[in-house]
């Protein structure tokens, strides 16, 4: 089933062609062993899709967030899970927009060539949660190095990445004028850090997302790995988070179309009481409603992408796109599971796997309530609620 707004058809077909080599059975097997889709991610890397946003001068195709979002959408639309590799897309923005020329020359060409992976971002902490300004991980300058101590949680793909973007406090919270000041962003070379001040503890969870808890104990980072100006890291991270939320929206849109396609085909063929299941309005209406909501989310996604690529403010659009898309994909997932009946719970139909995967986005990377609070304050001008 084609979307009403099926932009970038040649790009879509190229990604679909790659995905055809990795059908449902491939992702089902990876999920069953709680593994990582190494072959699939390697194929995406070889094809250059994970370097989409790297400028041509550094060896990439120089595409924008719009095209990157289409790539992520198509992976999920084809039955895969872009969560295994989407980090490189949105982490790239922090380096591209705020990194020094030397950092770009050092890291971007090998990332574009597939020699390095930048898949992880270390922000969330156990005690801070969504209140990023309350993070406790510190980075203290000592000569030509920063010494990092603290803890991060729900950090994905650490064991499948070479580099990580890290947010840490370089000025204690009581010493800053605004609570969003005093945080800085660093590039961490995980190949050097793990086992030498950084301990990674995988977290078993409902979604096969290669997520871990990180413990920093006197980890030394070269001062040259500081991105941008010290103390301005929160602002830099927000750029990356807008990209992240928009890309997650695209993935949810891909999921939404997948669920709608699957359930539509199923209820056309499945006969109950002598008639197609899909002939009943009680079946038709939830599917139609989910489709309408996915289409609406799709439009907001492209508006957020356009603004991001034009370097215009896009916080509201990125948040709203993520909210609409996560809600739409979840409703599509519920309809798909419900109308498959018992078969929806069988692994061989892949509905339960995708159901688990798309449920995550009601909670992460930003919860629906946090988005509503953002819109209430920053769009509607209501008093800050927290």
Residues annotated catalytic, as ranges: 244
Q: Which two tokens stand for residue 360?
A: 């995550």
Torsion sign over Cα 372, 375, 380, 384: positive
The Cβ of residue 107 has, within 10 Å, a number of other Cβ atoms equal to: 22
Nearest to 294 by CA among 267, 324, 264: 324
Length of the chain: 386
């Amino acid at each position: 089933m084609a979307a009403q707004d099926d932009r970038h058809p040649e790009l879509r077909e190229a990604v679909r062609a790659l995905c055809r080599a990795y059908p449902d059975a491939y992702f089902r097997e990876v999920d069953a062993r709680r593994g990582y889709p190494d072959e699939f991610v390697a194929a995406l890397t070889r094809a250059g899709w994970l370097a989409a946003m790297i400028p041509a001068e550094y060896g990439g195709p120089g595409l924008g967030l719009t095209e990157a979002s289409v790539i992520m959408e198509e992976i999920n639309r084809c039955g895969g899970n872009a969560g295994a590799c989407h980090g490189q897309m949105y982490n790239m923005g922090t380096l591209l927009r705020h990194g020094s020329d030397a950092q770009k020359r050092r890291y971007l060409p090998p990332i574009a060539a597939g020699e390095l992976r930048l898949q992880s971002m270390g922000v969330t902490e156990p005690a801070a949660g969504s209140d990023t300004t309350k993070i406790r991980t510190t980075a203290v300058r000592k000569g030509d190095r920063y010494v990092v101590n603290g803890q991060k949680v729900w950090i994905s793909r650490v064991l499948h990445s070479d580099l990580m973007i890290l947010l840490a406090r370089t000025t204690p919270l009581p010493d800053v004028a605004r609570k969003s000041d005093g945080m800085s962003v660093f590039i961490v070379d995980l190949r050097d850090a793990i086992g030498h001040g950084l301990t990674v503890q995988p977290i078993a969870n409902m979604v096969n997302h290669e997520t871990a808890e990180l413990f920093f104990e006197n980890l030394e980072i070269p001062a040259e790995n500081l991105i941008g100006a010290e103390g301005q890291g929160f602002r830099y991270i927000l750029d990356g988070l807008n990209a992240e939320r928009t890309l997650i929206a695209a993935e949810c849109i891909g999921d939404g179309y997948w669920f709608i396609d699957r359930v539509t085909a199923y209820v056309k063929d499945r006969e109950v009481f002598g008639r197609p299941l899909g002939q009943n309005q009680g079946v038709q209406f939830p599917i139609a409603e989910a489709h309408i909501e996915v289409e609406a989310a799709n439009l907001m996604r492209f508006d957020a992408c356009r603004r991001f690529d034009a370097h215009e403010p896009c916080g509201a659009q990125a948040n709203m796109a993520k909210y609409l898309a996560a809600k739409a994909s979840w409703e599509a997932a519920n309809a798909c599971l419900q109308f498959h009946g018992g078969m929806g719970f069988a692994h061989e139909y892949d509905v339960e796997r995708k159901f688990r995967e798309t449920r995550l986005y009601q909670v992460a990377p930003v919860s629906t309530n946090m988005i509503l609070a953002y819109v209430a304050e920053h769009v509607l001008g209501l008093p800050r609620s927290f």
